[in-house]
């Protein structure tokens, strides 16, 4: 079968690989119909995530049709149309039973490796390095889904792939980012990053009752999407000082909650700060550039919440712990517990309260995955979200 493989830094290639088979009794095999390139795939593409190997099949946002099920999968049948969460969860361990499926204790065969880097392991994930298990991803014609009885989520046939595909990651991730803010009527929420996750976080903040949402980015077409499709106010950080503008927009209080939807590869209008973080990254003094996170912490109102859904992989430098402690800020974070959001967010889609297709700017065949990665990384042709049609 054809699959999009990581071949090295800034090099992906669609090549022939063996077809997957059932390996565990709770597996299913899917024929992938649609898959997407995630902003976090760019961290792999740019070589920022350790433990990648040449030939790894990428992709953690995908959906498709069930082709085969293992003997212990009783709730799926051949032909079912399903969306699959990017995290893999057993449903049996204590975190899974508490609804924290991205912390599944059984789904990462490389838990020992993750423990060394993170202290404890989180769950396994599709197509996202060997640190998260070495599972082949869904940017392929076929994919094996472990614990399919828990993960594969059946979707109605009257909804298109594009309406439900993002239940796999970016819509729940954005929603969880907003939910962690514990939004109350009248709240003003600031979101750093107008990528797809940032836009879903902004849209979700409105769904959860925010009065105003302010989105911060540097790309005019993304900010236009935030205004037009989400109804957010915007700040272009290359044109205005973010802190001063936020203080002005919020009567000097700062936003009630600040969502970091940027993560480890942040940019900044402050070229000196940006250069310092790039240099620290280059000499391995830090693995991630926390420019947006620092800004979010400093801007958030006293006693407010900083919600971190942008991906971080390792260590950061110059973290404003003093601001966090002295100003009674609360940090909420985590990889999304996708499983618990799929049904409620599907209901939002079916009720017409949100149409997730608004983030899609490009549709390409799987064979053009390399073009999609390059376009997405370099923001060519106003690229916001690339959907790959696998079959």
User: Which CB, 130 or 222, lies closer to other proteins?
Assistant: 130
The residues in 181-220 that bind other proteins, with binding defined as CB under 8 A, are none
Per-position x/- string for 23-62, each x denoting binding to other proteins as judged by CB under 8 A, each - no binding: xxxx--------------------------xxxxx-----
Identify which range of 12-20, 188-196, 220-228, 352-360 contacts other proteins by CB under 8 A.
12-20
Smallest distance from other proteins to CB 35, Å:
15
Per-position x/- string for 143-162, each x denoting binding to other proteins as judged by CB under 8 A, each - no binding: -x-xx---------------
Q: Is residue 214 within 8 Å of 191, Cβ to Cβ?
A: yes
> Which of 338, 355, 312 shows the shortest CA–CA distance to 169?
338
Smallest distance from other proteins to CB 43, Å:
16
- What does the alpha-carbon distance between residue 203 and residue 213 come to, in Å, rounded to a whole number? 9
User: Which CB, 21 or 77, lies closer to other proteins?
Assistant: 21
Contacts of 104 (CB under 8 A, 6+ apart): 87, 88, 89, 90, 93, 95, 96, 122, 123, 124
User: Which CB, 64 or 304, lies closer to other proteins?
Assistant: 64
Burial 180-210, CB ≥16 within 10 A → b, else e: bbebeeebbbbbbbbbbbbbbbbbbbbbbeb
Q: Is residue 330 within 8 Å of 231, Cβ to Cβ?
A: no
Smallest distance from other proteins to CB 257, Å:
30
> Which of 58, 61, 139 shows the shortest CA–CA distance to 336?
61
User: Which CB, 124 or 177, lies closer to other proteins?
Assistant: 124
Smallest distance from other proteins to CB 73, Å:
12
> Which of 292, 84, 318, 302 shows the shortest CA–CA distance to 198?
292
User: Which CB, 50 or 55, lies closer to other proteins?
Assistant: 55
Smallest distance from other proteins to CB 2, Å:
12
Please report the DSSP string for 288-314 in residue order.
SB-HHHHHHHHHSPTT-EEEE-S---S
Beta-strand (E) ranges in 17-108? Answer: 28-37, 56-57, 61-69, 81-84, 87-88
User: Which CB, 104 or 225, lies closer to other proteins?
Assistant: 104
C-alpha dist (Å) from residue 240 to 45, 248, 267, 270, 303: 31, 12, 14, 11, 25
Smallest distance from other proteins to CB 84, Å:
15
Smallest distance from other proteins to CB 53, Å:
5
DSSP run (H or E) holding 348: helix 342-350
- What does the alpha-carbon distance between residue 147 and residue 123 come to, in Å, rounded to a whole number? 12
User: Which CB, 92 or 302, lies closer to other proteins?
Assistant: 92
DSSP helix/strand/coil, 199: helix
The residues in 327-366 that bind other proteins, with binding defined as CB under 8 A, are none
User: Which CB, 133 or 263, lies closer to other proteins?
Assistant: 133
User: Which CB, 123 or 257, lies closer to other proteins?
Assistant: 123
The residues in 80-139 that bind other proteins, with binding defined as CB under 8 A, are 88, 90, 92-94, 97, 105-107, 109-112, 124, 127, 130, 133-137
Asked whether position 76 contacts other proteins by CB under 8 A, the answer is no
Smallest distance from other proteins to CB 122, Å:
14
- Estimate the crossing angle of helix 170-179 against helix 196-207, to 10 degrees: 50
Smallest distance from other proteins to CB 253, Å:
39
Q: Which residues bind other proteins (CB under 8 A)?
A: 3, 5, 17-26, 53-57, 72, 88, 90, 92-94, 97, 105-107, 109-112, 124, 127, 130, 133-137, 144, 146-147
């Amino acid at each position: 079968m054809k699959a999009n493989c990581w071949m090295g830094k800034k090099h992906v290639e669609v090549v022939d690989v063996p077809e997957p088979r059932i390996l565990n009794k709770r597996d299913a095999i899917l024929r992938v119909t649609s898959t997407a390139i995630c902003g976090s795939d760019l961290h792999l593409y740019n070589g920022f995530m350790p433990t990648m190997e040449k030939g790894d099949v990428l992709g953690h946002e995908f959906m498709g049709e069930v082709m085969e099920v293992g003997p212990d999968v009783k709730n799926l049948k051949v032909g079912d149309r399903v969306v699959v969460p990017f995290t893999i969860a057993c449903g049996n361990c204590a975190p899974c039973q508490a609804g924290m499926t991205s912390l599944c204790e059984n789904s990462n065969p490389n838990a020992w490796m993750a423990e060394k880097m993170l202290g404890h392991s989180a769950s396994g994930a599709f197509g996202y390095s060997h640190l998260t298990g070495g599972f082949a991803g869904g940017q392929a014609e076929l994919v094996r889904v472990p614990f399919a009885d828990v993960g594969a989520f059946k979707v109605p046939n009257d909804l298109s792939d594009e309406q439900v595909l993002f239940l796999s990651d970016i819509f729940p991730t954005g929603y969880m980012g907003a939910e962690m803010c514990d939004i109350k009527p009248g709240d003003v929420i600031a979101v750093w990053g107008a990528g797809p996750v940032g836009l879903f976080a902004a849209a979700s903040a409105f769904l959860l009752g925010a009065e105003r949402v302010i989105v911060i980015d540097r790309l005019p077409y993304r900010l236009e999407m935030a205004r037009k499709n989400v109804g957010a106010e915007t700040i272009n950080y290359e044109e205005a000082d973010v802190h001063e503008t936020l203080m002005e927009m919020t009567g000097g209080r700062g936003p009630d909650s600040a969502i970091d939807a940027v993560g480890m590869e942040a940019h900044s209008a402050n070229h000196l700060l940006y250069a310092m973080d790039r240099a620290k990254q280059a000499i391995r003094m830090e693995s991630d550039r926390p420019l947006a996170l620092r800004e979010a912490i400093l801007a958030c109102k006293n006693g407010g919440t900083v919600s971190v859904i942008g991906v971080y992989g390792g260590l950061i430098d110059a973290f404003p712990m003093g601001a966090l402690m002295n100003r009674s800020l609360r940090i909420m974070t985590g990889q999304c517990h996708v499983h618990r959001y799929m049904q409620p967010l599907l209901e939002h889609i079916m009720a017409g309260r949100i149409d997730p297709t608004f983030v899609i700017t490009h549709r390409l065949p799987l064979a053009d995955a390399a073009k999609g990665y390059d376009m997405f990384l370099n923001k060519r042709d106003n690229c916001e979200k690339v959907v790959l049609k696998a079959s």
